[in-house]
Structure 1
């Protein structure tokens, strides 16, 4: 894909083992593409519906985002990325940033969790 918000190969190697592998009866959509889609929304601040076509249906990304949040996957990912970058990252999360409900794609209020960003230099 190669978009500015996509996972690096290094990040993917750290994260891939943490993702659930159980299929829900239909062929599983590429986790890396879906995760990059989620990160595109979180990093750009755009509504889910504005997700570029290259990432697939926004509903897939949104549903996976919610499912992984409920399962605690995001906490595991953040811990792994922090460790992989030896603590040299900057993080923004829902405790420090509130976004407008339409930016998060929600019908009723909501918060959004941002992603770890590697410090430059």
Structure 2
């Protein structure tokens, strides 16, 4: 069972093939991509507050930054946008306008 803020098996299945470090990719195979992807989802205000079960926060941050530079996160989000199931939608508060 997934812990709070961690991806469910269904959610993980949707993005697993989009991530680098698979056995079929050239180069080294990533160690536990699922745990790594769960780390930024945890909801910490600071990387250093991340629980130890995700690994050293500096290592996780460095990998996260590398993936961002390579466009991995962009590719995942683009795929999820194209193939959304519309179970729920999230909006950012910056687009919400309220009358006085």
Q: Give the TM-score normalised by the residue count of structure 1.
A: 0.61
Q: Which residue in 1 is equivalent to 2:35?
A: 33
Q: Which structure has greater helix proportion?
A: 2
Contact kept in structure 2, 1:19 and 1:73, CA below 8 Å = yes
Larger radius of gyration: 2
Unmatched runs of 5 consecutive residues or more in structure 1: 97-121
Match runs of 1:1-121 below 5 Å:
2-21=2-21, 22-23=27-28, 28-40=30-42, 44-87=43-86, 88-90=88-90, 92=92
User: SS of the counterpart of 2:20?
Assistant: coil
Q: Cα RMSD over matched residues?
A: 2.1
Q: Which structure's relative contact order is higher, taking Cα pairs within 8 Å and 6+ residues apart?
A: 1
Aligned length: 87
Q: Which runs of 4+ in 1 moved over 4 A?
A: none
Cα shift at 1:45 = 4.2
Q: Following the alignment from structure 2 to structure 1, what is the Cα–Cα distance between the partners of residues 11 and 79?
A: 9
Unmatched runs of 5 consecutive residues or more in structure 2: 22-26, 95-100
Q: Give the TM-score normalised by the residue count of structure 2.
A: 0.72
Q: Following the alignment from structure 1 to structure 2, what is the Cα–Cα distance between the partners of residues 53 and 38?
A: 13
